[in-house]
Amino acid sequence: MAGGTGAAAGSTAAPATATATATATLTATTEDETVDPGSAAASSSTPTRTGSWADDLWARFTGTAVLRRRTEWILLGAVTLLAALLRLVGLAHPGFLVFDETFYVKDAWSLVHLGYEAKWPENANDSWASGDPNVYLDEASYVVHPPLGKLVIGLGMLLFGADNPFGWRIGVAILGTLAVPLLWLVARKLFGSPVLATIGAFLLAIDGHAIVTSRISILDGILMFFVLLGFLFVLLDRQDFVRRIDARILDWRRTEGAAAGRDAGGAPDDAAPTPIVAGTRAPAKRPGGPDWGPAIWNRPWLVAAAIAFGLASSVKWSGLYFLAAFCLYTVAVDAWERRRRGVTFWASAAVLKQGPVSFLLTIPAAFVVYLSTWTGWLSTTGGFYRTWADEPGNAWTGALAWVPRSLQSLWHYSSEAYKFHTGLSADHPYQSSPLEWPFLIRPTAFSYQYSSASDNAACHAELCVEAITSISNPIIWWSGTVAVIFCVMMLVLQPRWQLGPILVGVGAGYLPWLAYLERQAVFQFYAIAFLPFMILAIVYVLYSIVPASDAPRRARTFGVNATAVFLVVCTLVSALFLPVWTGILIPDWYWSLTHWLVGWK
């Protein structure tokens, strides 16, 4: 690995050119130019060799700004190409509706034609398999997820046809592929290193959970994409906000601040952070910043994040958890940055001054986006519960009587769907409690079909199987679980700003499910929404514990080699599991090799 702690290769802290210069200096002495170990030169002027073979290689390919930019594009392109190959090749296999495709694909097709999801006859799956998708009925179907994910699936069918599996799945596959370069950009922003960004994107590209939810048309991979997009915008907003509040407070101190806070030329001194106690009462000695600081309205990236999380919520309501969590995160960042700049009442300023502004920038935007995805349902009258408010005795009265009846009906629909979700108790053989998720106890088998040589010429064993199991690469998943625990510990012991957003993402995706432990129909594949954050936690561990590129060569080389071994092991395990992620025909004994735990059968 060419990146390490803080001063990772490719980061601003350790330019590759510096490594190249150091390497050239260290190798200038040939074997013929020996130095007496006891001489003064040997004891005082011989430098300690730093870096590793990977740093030397990195320096060769990034010696100039042009080479560096080209190398970054190559790395980004390589992981994107890998993701595309694993998600698009053989996408039409298997040629029948798999798992919850029986709901979402058919719902998507009727949705893009009628504006709402319709019921289907009992033999609808056979009609789909034979290439005849237009057998939906006019009667509305009761569905419990918002429309956007199904619109994505439906758009793919409109473009590539609903009479073939490729058309059913291409919309999901494209977003699943794009999630990989999206994670690259996120990791690049977090760690400042293209190498670490490539490692993170590579792990997502080869992970089975991400592959399966990109090749089968269910909603969870779409949800993950929009969550990750919102996270990128949150990071961009943080960067932009820090720049803007720096400029505004510096301008205040230059023009309005106390004279004691400026030098003889009128330039402001550096402000010391405000003591923690100053968030609740004024300190005895005034800090160097303003009392409250500015309220910043110009935050386009925050609005973009709200839109992205609104889109996530329009796929599944669990996207709301990410919207709420990251809105609170931006308030916490605001408070912290104000405190760093000497704002007296930094906490109350963040909550009471900037907080309402941020609320107005985010929640209305997210709500409008969410509502817009229901346009088809609202603009027609055939949808389930669509005319509920028009029925006698149902319309709201009093202060809410002004609300359009279509929205009243949508509210009723949503409340009934919420009751369905919270009260769902149907038993399923592959259900998995959220308490089991961190340990990968019970992954979800989407499909498996047995055959023998007598009924399948491609089977060259006594018994063969075509299986699709939504299971993460176990090495990546278990490493991610350990990495999240490590990040929680480091948040207490040695906090860095990257820890906050990573843990917020994991918490928003996982912790709310602990409130529904009594619900039975909960599955491991729901965890795809926070899988990218677990991978970022792995990258953070590498960022933290691998010695920096200016460390002694032996220590640096050991860390780089250990990272390389980890990536090789992950790759080999993914190669082992690939057939059970993509439905490739394999002997039954091979399938058994992938059953590492009892719950994986």
Strands (DSSP E) contained in 281-412 are none
Q: Which residue has the higher pLDDT, 265 or 518?
A: 518
The pLDDT confidence band at residue 127, using thresholds 50, 70 and 90, is confident
Predicted pLDDT at 195: 95
Cβ(154)–Cβ(144) below 8 Å: no
Whole-number Cα distances in Å, 164 to 62, 443, 601: 46, 28, 30
Q: Which residue has the higher pLDDT, 201 or 254?
A: 201
- 464-470 vs 444-451, strand pairing mode: antiparallel
- Is the predicted pLDDT of residue 268 greater than 60, yes or no? no
Give the model confidence (pLDDT) of 505-515 as tens digits: 999 999 999 98
- Is the predicted pLDDT of residue 11 greater than 60, yes or no? no
CA atoms within 13 A on the CB side of 511: 10
- Is the predicted pLDDT of residue 277 greater than 60, yes or no? no
Query: The tokens 């013929």 sit on which residue?
Result: 32
User: Residue 254's closest CA among 284, 290, 295?
Assistant: 290
Cβ(412)–Cβ(385) below 8 Å: yes
Cβ(147)–Cβ(314) below 8 Å: yes
Mean pLDDT (whole number) for 262-280: 55
All structural domains of the chain with their residue ranges: 101-218+430-600, 378-423
Predicted pLDDT at 424: 67
Residue 556 to residue 549: CA distance in whole angstroms = 7
Give the model confidence (pLDDT) of 454-492 as tens digits: 778 788 888 999 999 999 999 999 999 999 999 999 999
Mean pLDDT (whole number) for 326-338: 94
- Is the predicted pLDDT of residue 130 greater than 60, yes or no? yes
Mean pLDDT (whole number) for 1-18: 41
Mean pLDDT (whole number) for 427-439: 89
Predicted pLDDT at 35: 41
- Is the predicted pLDDT of residue 10 greater than 60, yes or no? no
- Is the predicted pLDDT of residue 33 greater than 60, yes or no? no
Predicted pLDDT at 590: 94
The pLDDT confidence band at residue 159, using thresholds 50, 70 and 90, is very high
Give the model confidence (pLDDT) of 37-75 as tens digits: 444 444 445 567 788 888 888 888 888 899 999 999 999
* Mean residue pLDDT across the chain: 86
The pLDDT confidence band at residue 12, using thresholds 50, 70 and 90, is very low
Give the model confidence (pLDDT) of 527-552 as tens digits: 999 999 999 999 999 999 988 888 88
Strand partners, 268: 262
The pLDDT confidence band at residue 262, using thresholds 50, 70 and 90, is low
Predicted pLDDT at 276: 65
Cβ(60)–Cβ(17) below 8 Å: no
Residue 325 to residue 506: CA distance in whole angstroms = 10
Residue 377 to residue 375: CA distance in whole angstroms = 5
Give the model confidence (pLDDT) of 175-199 as tens digits: 999 999 999 999 999 999 999 999 9
- Is the predicted pLDDT of residue 165 greater than 80, yes or no? yes
Predicted pLDDT at 271: 59
Predicted pLDDT at 252: 81
The pLDDT confidence band at residue 25, using thresholds 50, 70 and 90, is very low
SS3 content of the chain, % helix, strand, coil (to 5): 60, 5, 35
In the β-sheet with 444-451, what is the strand arrangement from edge to edge?
444-451, 464-470, 585-587
- Residue 140 burial (10 A CB sphere; 0-12, 13-18, 19+): buried
The pLDDT confidence band at residue 288, using thresholds 50, 70 and 90, is low
- Is the predicted pLDDT of residue 134 greater than 60, yes or no? yes
Predicted pLDDT at 26: 34
The pLDDT confidence band at residue 22, using thresholds 50, 70 and 90, is very low
Minimum mean pLDDT range among 59-73, 155-169, 272-286, 320-334? 272-286
| Percent of the chain surpassing pLDDT 90 | 65
Predicted pLDDT at 269: 53
Give the model confidence (pLDDT) of 351-386 as tens digits: 999 999 999 999 999 999 999 999 999 999 999 999
